[in-house]
Structure 1
Amino acid sequence: MAYSRRTTALVVVIAAYVLSFFHRFAPAGIATELAAAFHTSAASLGTLAATYFYVYTLMQLPTGILADTVGPRRIIVAGGFVAAAGSLLFALAPSLEVALAGRTLTGLGVSVTFIAMLKLFALWYDERRFASLVGLGMFVGNLGSVLAGTPLTALAQLTGWRGVFVATALASLAIAVLCWRLIEPEQPGTLKRFDRTVILGGLATILRNRATWPAVLANFGIAGSFFAFAGLWATPYLMSVHGLTKLQASHHLSLYFLAFAVGCLAIGSLSDRLARRKAVLIPAAAVYLACWGVCLFAGPLPERLTFPLFALMGLATSSFSLTWACAKEVNPSALSGMSTALTNMGGFLGGALLQPLAGALIDHAWNGTVVDGVRIYAPEHFTAAIACLAGAAALGFLGACLVRETRARNQWQNPA
């Protein structure tokens, strides 16, 4: 593929990733609207938001296998059409059950995007640029999460949250068509033959490799707590614990996402330049854990402190973007789709488990106050949930300490 065509194709693929990030964090920006529309509790709202993560988690290994066999082009196009259907169904949902179905379809559709993008990076570029490219992809992709903050809140007030998701359905369709036209079919020999024995053998190789699992644990703890918090509970937490308005909370959320995006770009480039993974990953994971300590023990803070706290937290959260390189570089190069998918599965499993768990803990502490059909939570109702997310961050830090240093090179050696 010509360089200019390849670049254009990657721009479109990253645009699909922007949409996946938007869908991932959109419930946080419209949490109160969703609670009012479906008359739901915190636990049910957590389940609605986490449905995306359930299907995303289950799809990671199948996506990795498909990326290594049928290729990224087909799966990303199919995913775009499914995501469009899910977004439209969510927008038109008359009940919580239909909204759950729409959210599930959306998660299914966008679940293939990131792994397909990583596979394209592995096929088209030198391995020494992998972490930098992942950081760049996440930097641009995080525009979707930034859009899920203040812009979504403002747009939802103008058009209603349903109109926003009709627009995202149309955008998904357009991106799918562009991907089909711009990404050329894979050349013969670049992908493994779809053979069950070969696939199962490759998967077993990755699963048996002890060096794979620390990266999965780090992704589970850091990304999982990030998805659970920023994906739903950050806005209610800021409004209740720190006394912010909804608009002020959305500004914090947008700042968090922007700092995270910048961090992804910087941390990947720094790691590649130093040819080190652990020396960058461990300090950043430690800062992330420390930020959770502040959230847990500091109590109500003024905006002059919550803004820099969320900015620092966003920068430190980006540490998990190195975990895909850590997993890829200790496994066979031909299995990069499966190894990165397994690592990605850790973070989304964390989000799937922690998002409703946090909601259940908040509900358990709730004192029964309801205003206009919406449950009202006091600051102390969030304590157990924040402690749970801080514990997950501690697991992420432990995983970061256990990863193998690869010096930005593939270290795989067949034990046989």
Structure 2
Amino acid sequence: MTRRQIHDIGKRRAWVIWGVGLAIYLLAVFHRSSLGVAGLLAAERFDIDATQLALFTVLQLAVYAAMQVPVGVLLDRFGSRAMLLTGLVLMTAGQLAFAFVESFPAAVLARAVLGAGDAMVFVSVIRLVSVWFLVRQAPVVTQLTGLTGQLGAIVAAAPLSWALNQLGWTRTFALASCVGFVLMIAALLLVKDSPYASTGPTRVKLRALTRALQTVWGNPGTRLGMWSHFTPQFSATVFGMLWGFPFLVRGQGLSEQAASTLLMVMTGFVVVTGLLLGWLVGRLPYYRSYIVIGVVVIMLVPWTAVLLRETPAPMWLLVVLVCATAAGGPASMVAFDLTRTFTPQESMGRANGVVNVGGFAASLMTMALVGVVLDLRQPAGMDAYDLDDFRWAMSVQYLFWAFGIVQILRYRRRGLDHLRRVHPGAVESLRRGEPFVHPGFSDREGV
């Protein structure tokens, strides 16, 4: 059926819809990052050790990652608007419960509910970008989505730390949950799934679901996107969401105010790298995988310099560290631009769901391993951790960086071979710096 366009693409309505989705994503990042500065208070409130503290965020991210493929299927079926509203309901309920519970199991359950809501937001916003913006606009808007959404992490740094000190645990998190009600109204009134009259969410029949997922997974471009998300993203997530604040305070001897400021600097630097990477990806689509690897190498250098030191690092080196780590967030967004090259619009939700598993799977495994290493080295608990403990614990990142780089190089080769075989001329178009517009599935698309 020929699609009839009833709204302009890439014009004012598109920006309004994207703005509402972006606000919801910003709130999701805030909720997700709130334990970054509340971790020490949470350890006291619930009387838990490092492994249990890590469980909060690990379970939240485990739920997030586990739901990405089901959410992708539901997104293709019901559309972004319904998924954003459902995500808001779950995030609001989870954060409100987290404000009042006092037992560790109840708090873990509340964070799991929050993670379920968070899982529905980002891929829904990315789908809106895919259908409401022009092909040449999409890479920049995708980067803007990631970097602007990270403002939620800024709010979860110093301002949240201040609110926790002034208002206390319950009132701070209860007030934060109330923002969700306002955004529910905005989503109901303003968000539309598509600029086309005849194109609604794809009706995915249950009998065809397994085959559809196999086709998406069988495409090497999907796995290239997943590993391109896996490799640069986890370090920034681990640092910003959980272990960065304790690492700076307990390991590097900074005050809580100085540590919060560095987390804000880290998040602010996302804007700089995001704009640069958005421009590079638009100009050099053939080299997107190498751009991701280059960012990972840039991250490795200051981490190695800091972890090799037997004394706390000077402030200038810590600033370089947090800025380099921040670049991993925008670099992971390149994965969704890669997916757009290999996936038609009607399956974008499923493909982006698979891709989004990568970075968060790496994040939850790294968070858990850091907590385990800390507890093995220092059974006395959070107050007894020192620089040497954190040097060993944060070194687990190298395992995931090395594995991820190998996988990116492996699936880059397979992905390019796939394009040459299934879509002749696509690779040459990318080499010339021209975007490749996917024409839809062929019989060999998932091979």
TM-score of the aligned structures, taking structure 1 as reference length: 0.93
The match for 2:180 is 172
Q: Deviations over 1:315-341 (max 9, x none)?
A: 354211101111231233321111111
Return the letter of the residue paired with 2:304.
Answer: G
Return the letter of the residue paired with 2:100.
Answer: L
1:48-127 map, 5 Å: 48-127=56-135
Q: Deviations over 1:82-130 (max 9, x none)?
A: 1111110001111111111111111111211101011111111122322
1:230-269 map, 5 Å: 230-269=240-279
Structure label with greater radius of gyration: 2
The match for 2:369 is 357
The match for 1:283 is 294
Question: Between Structure 1 and Structure 2, how many residues are aligned?
Answer: 412
Question: In the TM superposition, what is the alpha-carbon distance from 1:288 to its structure 2 partner?
Answer: 1.9
1:120-159 map, 5 Å: 120-159=128-167
Distance in 2 of aligned mates of 1:139 and 1:28: 18
The match for 2:340 is 328
1:4 equivalent to 2:12? Answer yes
Return the letter of the residue paired with 1:351.
Answer: S
Question: Which deviates more from structure 2 when the two are superposed, residues 169-178 or residues 33-42?
Answer: 169-178
Aligned-residue CA RMSD (Å): 2.1
1:272 equivalent to 2:282? Answer yes
Question: In the TM superposition, what is the alpha-carbon distance from 1:280 to its structure 2 partner?
Answer: 2.4
Distance in 2 of aligned mates of 1:92 and 1:316: 34
Contact 1:287-1:316 within 8 A present in 2 as well: no
1:209 equivalent to 2:222? Answer no
User: Which residue, 321, 337, 348 being the options, matches 2:349?
Assistant: 337
Return the letter of the residue paired with 1:291.
Answer: P
Contact 1:70-1:191 within 8 A present in 2 as well: yes
Question: In the TM superposition, what is the alpha-carbon distance from 1:240 to its structure 2 partner?
Answer: 2.4
Distance in 1 of aligned mates of 2:235 and 2:325: 12
Contact 2:157-2:260 within 8 A present in 1 as well: yes
1:385 equivalent to 2:393? Answer yes
Distance in 1 of aligned mates of 2:437 and 2:364: 31
Q: Which runs of 4+ in 1 moved over 4 A?
A: 410-413
Gaps of 5+ in 1: none
Give the secondary structure class of the aligned counterpart of 2:204. Answer: coil
Question: Which deviates more from structure 2 when the two are superposed, residues 393-402 or residues 218-227?
Answer: 393-402
Distance in 1 of aligned mates of 2:100 and 2:437: 47
Return the letter of the residue paired with 1:319.
Answer: A
Distance in 2 of aligned mates of 1:320 and 1:53: 16
Give the secondary structure class of the aligned counterpart of 2:313. Answer: coil
TM-score of the aligned structures, taking structure 2 as reference length: 0.87
- Identical-residue share of aligned pairs (%): 23
CA change 1:284–1:62 in 2 (3 A) is same
Distance in 1 of aligned mates of 2:221 and 2:193: 33
The match for 1:199 is 209
Q: Deviations over 1:17-39 (max 9, x none)?
A: 01111122211111111111011
Q: Deviations over 1:383-404 (max 9, x none)?
A: 3321112221223333443434
The match for 1:375 is 383
The match for 2:309 is 298
Question: In the TM superposition, what is the alpha-carbon distance from 1:312 to its structure 2 partner?
Answer: 2.6
